[in-house]
Structure 1
Amino acid sequence: MAAWSPTLGRDDMLQSLNRLDFILLETLRSLRRHGLMTLASVTTAAAALTMLGFVVVGAMLLDQMSARVLSKFETAAYTASSITPEQLAQLGRQIAALPNVASVQVITREQAWEQQRRTLGYIPYLDKMKNPLTDEVWVKVRDPKQTAQVAALLRRMPGVESVAQPSETLTRALAAAWVLRAVGVAACVVLLLATALITSNAIRLAVFARRREIRIMQLVGATDSFVRMPFLLEGSAHGLLGAILAYLLLSTSLTHGVAFVQHTVPFLPVSLAGTPLGLVYVGLAGAGGGIGAVASAVSVGRFLRA
């Protein structure tokens, strides 16, 4: 067996670099040479990835909106009329220490009566009427699903006379949120499969149009891996270019679309602030490049085996 020498190692490295350089240059030449097929593949990938991005971001926005709506549900604990201000303050601290409690707001009977009078407006006999209200403690739960458990704990606390919880309305809201989340996930999965199918078909057509080129490379003695690599890189480039176009379309459309909704329907809690758009764009780039590479590898493999 021949001994290894630094000269042989450098020669092998230079040969590998030359081969890589040739493959990259051939990929770039192919993208320019087959401009029409490249344009068709890229635009098809861009359209499919844009639709996928809209569905993913839409599902995220619906999930955020349902979470904001659910976070507004509160449970009210009404105290006994004999409770003192010190006992009321202590009760508020005890409730705040309960598990799953996010925040507590203590409202005295005087504050509640003043709010009620402002809501009702000016009514002459209200000034002479005795305050019929009691002290209140409004409780916001971290997880809306735990509202019933927190309400049960409140009822057992000393000084609490009654508890009001949004039971039926909350149950319907939780069910609607679950349905929206399930529909969003299902739509994302279906559209991801459709994106993979549409993009891969476009790239496979581009490879099919160059089947004679693959055959010629085989006839001159090129190895399968050497033939496959330029097409694999080219397919990845098609997918990545499509993802870049999808990013431009998505970012522009989402920015203007959300601004329009906020201006037209201001009471609708739509915002891109908490949406991980960067993660969505990276995912689209990965999906485009991955689908392009796999579609090219499968298509070229069929012609190599033929």
Structure 2
Amino acid sequence: MIRTFFKHLWQSIKNLRRNGWMTVAAVSSVTITLVLVGVFLAVILNTTKLATDLENNVRISTFLKLNVHDGDKEIVDPNDKSKMMTNPDYHKVETAIKAVPHVVKVTYSSKANELDKLTKSLGNTWKMFQGDSNPLYDVYIVEADKPENVETVSKNISKIEGVERADYGGTNTKKIFGLSKVVRTWGLGAAGLLLFVAVFLISNTIRITILSRQREIQIMRLVGAKNGYIRWPFFLEGAWVGLLGAILPSVLIGIVYRIAYVGLQGTLSQQGLYLLNPTTFVPQLIILMVVVGVAIGSLGSIISMRRFLKI
């Protein structure tokens, strides 16, 4: 049994060499198809990941009124401007926000911190607004437990005394939610359609190589070879074609994806968005392409030979 398998294996390798140009054509077809599959899968899966991150990163910016000093333990004594006093309303608004249903996290950012963020993003011109000239508000960044609860939480927070407004993006955020759902649904559907197209193209290429060797199959049948004996070399040959065709796409996709990840992730991480980590994603994608190539190559050979093995 083992000896027969290795005999068929060696025969399949000899057939690849003997049918040189047809082998090159089949491998090239597999290579081109798998490159397209790898690129589109990487784009679709990362787009789906970013859409999910974008949806989950929607936060509510709660702006406090200018006369509210919720984050200050001490404030200027209204009766004596030269003295400081303990703030009786210290964290009063924060406590009220935390009591709102579906709130999971509350982070304070003073107007000085907000100005620093603007200065880093928009340039040093904003430094002129430091100190008493700062026109910004103290802000509480609020996170809800689920994206669909953001609007309700925002409305409840806006009713709290001392809150100027609660902003979560409104219509734009709803568009983000809708976009993320569309991307997840149609993205996975497109990935499935792409794999189907890959199966169709590769199996038809393998079929052409089998058709070009129908005379060889007929001679083997005339000398009394059994169907299984005829089928095995072609089955293994198709697997070799799929494997060889997956090598270049695997190397190419691995290199390009790592370059793209390094170039894009720095900017995306500032917005709380993350691409699929190449350490885990690239090996998984390579394994998928190799499996698809080998499976389609071998199955394409078997399907194409059925017409020649019928009695």
Q: TM tier, shorter chain?
A: 0.7 to 0.9
Residue 183 of structure 1, CA deviation: 4.1
> Which residue number corresponds to residue 236 of structure 2?
233
| Structure 1 length-normalised TM | 0.75
> Could you say which residue in structure 2 is the equivalent of 1:54?
39
Aligned to 2:30: 45
Deviates more, 1:237-246 or 1:81-90: 81-90
Q: Quick check: 1:109–1:133 contact (8 Å CA) kept in 2? A: yes
Structure 2's unaligned 5+ residue stretches are 74-87
**Is the Cα contact below 8 Å between 2:203 and 2:297 reproduced in 1?**
yes
Identify the match of residue 206 of structure 1 among 206, 209, 214.
209
CA distance in 2, matches of 1:111, 1:265: 21
1:164 aligns with 2:167: yes
Alpha-carbon contact 2:115-2:126 (below 8 Å) kept: no
Match of 1:279 among 284, 291, 300: 284
* 2:294 matches 1:289: yes
Assess, with a 3 A threshold, how the Cα gap between structure 1 residues 154 and 290 changes in structure 2: closer, same or farther.
Answer: same
Match of 2:109 in 1: 107
- TM-score norm. by structure 2 comes to 0.74
Cα separation, partners in 2 of 1:58 and 1:100, compared to 1, 3 Å: farther
Change (3 A) 1:299 1:169: same
1:77 alignment partner, SS class: strand
Q: Which residue of 2 aligns with 1:145?
A: 148
The Cα of 1:66 is off from its aligned counterpart by 3.1
How far did 1:287 drift?
1.0
Please say if 1:177 is aligned against 2:172.
no
1:204-243 CA distances to partner (integer Å, 9 max, x unpaired)?
Answer: 1111111122112222222212211111111111112111
Counterpart CA distance in 2 for 1:233 and 1:95 is 66
Q: Secondary structure at the match of 1:138?
A: strand
Matched residue, 2:76: none
The CA distance in 2 between the partners of 1:51 and 1:20, in whole Å, is 34
- AA aligned to 2:298 is A
Counterpart position of 1:220: 223
Matched residue type, 1:148: E
Instruction: Tell me how far 1:245 sits from its aligned partner.
Output: 1.7
Q: 2:254 aligns with which of 251, 256, 259?
A: 251
**Matched residue pairs, number?**
288
- Segments of 5+ residues of structure 1 without an aligned counterpart are 1-15
- CA positional deviation for 1:114: 8.8
Matched-pair contact (CA < 8 Å) for 1:258–1:270? no
Q: Does 1:65 align with 2:69?
A: no
Deviation at 1:299, TM superposition (A): 0.9
Q: CA deviation at 1:35?
A: 1.8
**Aligned residue among 122, 125, 128 for 1:122:** 128
Give the counterpart of 2:9 among 24, 30, 35: 24
Q: CA RMSD in A?
A: 3.9
Query: In structure 2, do the counterparts of structure 1 residues 207 and 181 end up closer, same or farther at CA, with 3 Å as the change threshold?
Result: same
Conserved? CA contact 1:107–1:137, under 8 Å: yes
Structure 1: distance between partners of 2:118 and 2:300? 67
Q: CA deviation at 1:267?
A: 8.8
